Structure 1
C-alpha cells in the first residue's frame, strides 16, 4: 500500500489533500444531482436510505459534496496558513477511504448496519481532520485560524446528532440545517483569507496600485455571529418568527460585509467578482428565508437553495479553480469556460429558487437547474482531472504555490 501511494501510477493523487478531494467534489456534484433529477423526473431509484429521498439528497450534498471540498481545502490551506509541513500521503489516503466508505455505506439498504458504518466513517473522517489540524492551529503564534477548528468540531457534533436521530427513528433534517449554517459560516471565514490575495491581485491588474483591500474583522465577525445565531434559533424553534428576524439580520450583516469589496472596476475581474457573488447569494438566501418565515409563505426552500446552490456552489467552484490550480503549480485558468460555468451555477440557483416563487413550472425548473449545475461541474472535471492525477511540472514539491510565487 505504501508503494501505491508513494510511487504507483496514481501517486501524484496523494501528494496533496486537495487532489483526491477536489476530484471527488466535482464528481459528486455531477453524480448526486444527476441521480436526484433522475428520481424526480423519471422515477429512477435512489439508495434506500433511512428517512427517504429528501434526506438522502440533502445528506449527500452536504456530507458528500461539501465535506469533500472542506477536506481538500483544509488539508491544503492549514499547512500554508500555519507555515507547517504538508499533510502526509498516508493520512490523505486514510481520509479518502473514510469518505468513500461513508458514501457507500449510507447508500446500502441495510438498516441499521449501513447507517452505523456510515456514521463511523463520517465521524472518523471529521475527527481525523480535526486531529491533523488542531496542533498546527494551536501552535500558530497568534492562533489566528482557530475558527476553522471550532467550525469543524461543531460539524462533528451535528453529524453525530444526525446519525443519532437516524438510528433512534427521529427525523434528522434539523441536523442537516445546522450543517448548512456551519458551512455558510465556514465560507465567510475561508473567504476572508482567500479574498485578500484575489482582490489585491485584481487591483494590481487594473493598475490600482495605490489601493489595498483588507478583509475587516468587525464586519466579518458580525456576519458570522448572525449566521450562527440564526442556525441556533432554527434548531431550537424551526420557522419561529424570531428566527425570521434573525435571518433578516444575517442578510443585513452579509450585505454590510460586501461594502469591503466595493473597490471600483477591479471588482469586475473574474475571480474577485465570483467571490463577491457568493456573499450576494448568501445574503439573498437569508433574506428570502427571513421574509418567508415572517410572511408564512413557502419560500423557505427557495432561500435554502440560494444558500446551497448559489453561495456554496460558487464558493466551492471558485476555491477548486483557484487553490486547486495554484497548489498544482498552474496559474488560475483564464479561458472562457470558467465564467460560463460560474454563470451556470448562478443560473441553477436562480432557477431552483424561482420554482418556489411559482415563477416557473416545477419540473422545468428542476431539470433546467440540474442541467446547469451538472454542466458546470462537468466542465471543471474535463479541464482538471488530468491536472489532479498527474505530477507537477514546475519542479515545486507537494502543495507549494506556483514556482513564480515561491
Structure 2
C-alpha cells in the first residue's frame, strides 16, 4: 500500500488533485453545519466554532478561505504550468501547501478555544499557502513568452492583502467583514481572468464540433455562424476595472449610493462582455452554456446589489449570494469538471449529471436570492438552496474520487492533458 506521505501516491500526481478534493469535502461539510446552526432541518440548532465576528463571519470565512481558496490553489497549481509551458509543481511542495490549508482550517476553528494564538497560526498558515503559490508560480509566469499571465501575480498579491488584513483586524478586534467582501470582489476578478483562458479552448472546440456535426447548416450559415471565439482583452479589462472600482468603494464606503452606481457599472460591463459570446448555436452546447452562465450570474449579482444600494430597497444580500453561490459556485464546478477530467487523462464527461448539477447551482442561487420576495419562507428557501448547492458537488466527488486517488491509465504524466487516441 502506498502511503499518502510519499510522492508516489496518486493523490500528489498533480496539484489539483488534493485541493479539488479538499474544496469539495469542505463545502459538503460547511453547508449542512450552517443549516443545523440556523435550526434546520429537523428543528436542530447546533453551535458553531466561536470565532471573531461570530457565526456569520465563520460561515463566510470558511466558504472563501476553505472552499474557494482550495479550489483556487488547485487551479493555479495546474493551470499556470500548463499556460506557461513550465514544469509542474513537485509533489513534496504540493503536500506542504495542502498541509498549510488544513492548518488554516484547524487554527481558525480553534480560535474560540485557544484564543489569539490559534488565530495567529491560522493567519500565518493562510498567508504561507498563498505566498507559497506566489513563490512557486511567479517565476513560471515571469519567464513565459510575452508574459501574458502577469495578472495572476497581481491577483495573488491582492489575495495576500485580503488575508493579511482579515487576520490583522481579527487579532485586534477590528472590522473583519470588509476583508471578506473585498475577497469576493477579488474572486470575481480572478474568475474573469481564468474563464477567459478556459473559454478560448472549450468554446472553440464546441464550435468546431458543431460545424462537424452539422456541415450543411454550417455551410448554409457560413456568414451568420462564427468560426472562432475570441475573449477580447478590452472588454475583459473593462469588466475587471469596474469590479475593482466597486470593491474598493465598498471597502471604504460600504452600502453607499456611490457603491451602488459602481455595482451597476460592473453589471453593465459584464453584459458588454457577453457580446464576445455571439457564437451562434454552438453556445447551446453544455460546456459553453455553463461557462456563459457564470457571467450571466455575475452580472445579475452586481445588478441586484446596485439596484438595492441606489434605491434603498432590499436585494443587497440576494445580489451577494448571486455572486457567491451562483457565479462562484458554478465557475468552480465548471473548472472541477473540465480540468479535473482532462488532467486525469480522461475526456470531459458527457453524461447528464454534469448539466443537471450546473442547473441545480443556478437554482440554488435563485432560491437564495428569492428571500427578497414578499412573505418568503426564508428558512425553507435556505434549506432548498443548500440542498441544490451541495448535491452537485457531492455527485462530483462520488464520480471523481476514483480518478483523483488512483494512477492514470493512459501512461502520461501527472498534469498532462487528455490526448485522444487515434
| Residue 85 (structure 1) aligns with | 87
- CA deviation vs aligned residue, 1:106-125 (integer Å, no higher than 9, x gap): 00122112111100100000
Q: How does 1:120-135 map to 2 (within 5 A)?
A: 120-135=124-139
| Residue 343 (structure 1) aligns with | 359
Q: How does 1:188-199 map to 2 (within 5 A)?
A: 188-199=192-203
Asked if structure 1 preserves the Cα contact closer than 8 Å seen for 2:308 and 2:316, the reply is yes
Q: For 1:224 and 1:3, locate their aligned partners in 2 and report how far apart those are by CA, in whole Å.
A: 40
**Cα distance change, pair 350–14 in 1 and its aligned pair in 2 (3 A):** same
Q: For 1:5 and 1:357, locate their aligned partners in 2 and report how far apart those are by CA, in whole Å.
A: 53
TM norm structure 2: 0.93
**Cα distance change, pair 66–358 in 1 and its aligned pair in 2 (3 A):** farther
- Deviation (angstroms), 1:206: 1.0
Q: For 1:351 and 1:171, locate their aligned partners in 2 and report how far apart those are by CA, in whole Å.
A: 29
Asked if structure 2 preserves the Cα contact closer than 8 Å seen for 1:50 and 1:111, the reply is no
| Residue 286 (structure 2) aligns with | 270
| Residue 5 (structure 2) aligns with | 4
| Residue 215 (structure 2) aligns with | none
Which of 283, 293, 312 is the equivalent residue of 1:296?
312
DSSP-derived class of the 1:125 partner = helix
- Deviation (angstroms), 1:356: 2.8
- CA deviation vs aligned residue, 1:37-78 (integer Å, no higher than 9, x gap): 111123111111121000000001001110001000000000
- When the two structures are aligned, how many residues end up with a matched partner? 403
Structure 2 residue 166 is matched with structure 1 residue 168: no
- CA deviation vs aligned residue, 1:349-382 (integer Å, no higher than 9, x gap): 0000001334631110100000111111111111
Q: How does 1:122-161 map to 2 (within 5 A)?
A: 122-161=126-165
- CA deviation vs aligned residue, 1:325-345 (integer Å, no higher than 9, x gap): 101101111111111111111
Q: For 1:359 and 1:22, locate their aligned partners in 2 and report how far apart those are by CA, in whole Å.
A: 39
DSSP-derived class of the 1:4 partner = coil
Tell me which moved more, 354-363 or 276-285.
354-363
Q: For 1:30 and 1:376, locate their aligned partners in 2 and report how far apart those are by CA, in whole Å.
A: 10
TM norm structure 1: 0.97
Q: For 1:325 and 1:47, locate their aligned partners in 2 and report how far apart those are by CA, in whole Å.
A: 35
| Residue 250 (structure 1) aligns with | 266
Asked if structure 2 preserves the Cα contact closer than 8 Å seen for 1:302 and 1:357, the reply is no
Which of 11, 18, 22 is the equivalent residue of 1:24?
22
Q: How does 1:228-239 map to 2 (within 5 A)?
A: 228-239=244-255
Structure 2 residue 380 is matched with structure 1 residue 368: no
- Deviation (angstroms), 1:6: 2.0
Structure 2 residue 188 is matched with structure 1 residue 187: no
Q: How does 1:215-230 map to 2 (within 5 A)?
A: 215-230=231-246
Which of 46, 49, 64 is the equivalent residue of 1:47?
49
Asked if structure 1 preserves the Cα contact closer than 8 Å seen for 2:4 and 2:11, the reply is no
Asked if structure 1 preserves the Cα contact closer than 8 Å seen for 2:246 and 2:259, the reply is yes
Unpaired runs of 5+ residues, structure 1, are none
Q: For 2:21 and 2:282, locate their aligned partners in 1 and report how far apart those are by CA, in whole Å.
A: 30
